[in-house]
Copies of this chain bind each other. A is one copy, B any other.
Amino acid sequence: MVEVKRSYGGVSAADRSAGRRAKLLEATIAVLADEGESRTTMTAICARAGLTERYFYESFASRDEAIVAALDAVAVEIASVAVQAIADTGGDPAERLRAALTAVVSLVASRPDKGRVAVVESSATPELRVRRHALLGSFAELVAQEADSLFGDAAWPAERAKVHGLVYAAGVAELVAAWIVGDVELEQDELVAAATDLFVAVARRH
């Protein structure tokens, strides 16, 4: 297939391709959230995106690559709103963490499909678990860092802080997952309050 770039519908070739990729990514997120990983076939993604299989291979080499890209996109967005919220909030580390939690919970509340991909479907396959683990790890570090600046000498030593951060991040992820699914009946602010309290609890050494 000879690829000679040309504009079409008033849109450049690069923009069209990028647009199709974005459509496919959104469709992948939607199918993942609605149908689960095993039913997220190339055919299903293309049908949801309203594109034919040929354009799938334009953006992704395989079904797995699309799924990984979808999770990456969601993970980056979640991490970014969290980091942004921390950067925008001054003062008390606990307040900063509450702001980050609020931002993340708001995101997954307004886009449950993204939340579902991030905390539910993200452990479906080995390849996805690598991403999930990396995301949890970055949150764990962030938590450990805030814990240190919150309690100083009263905080856990660095090695322990990493472990506690991981347990905290994974636990909150599960809590959010249960909340999205409806297994935990809490208001949004109660969810954030519980997670904030838990942060204080795991951050301080006794």
Contact = CB atoms under 8 A, between A and B. Distances in A.
Interface of A: 36-38, 120, 123-126, 129, 133, 136, 160, 163-164, 166-175, 178, 183-184, 186, 194-195, 197-198, 200-202, 204, 206
Contacts of A124: 37, 123-125
Contact of A38 (B38, B171, B194): B38
**Copies of this chain per assembly:** 2
Interface of A: prevailing SS: helix
14 contacts: A120-B129, A124-B124, A124-B125, A133-B178, A136-B174, A163-B194, A166-B171, A166-B175, A166-B184, A167-B195, A170-B171, A201-B201, A201-B202, A201-B206
A9 to B, nearest CB: 39
Contacts of A175: 163, 166-167, 170
A112 B184 CA distance: 31
A136 B206 CA distance: 26
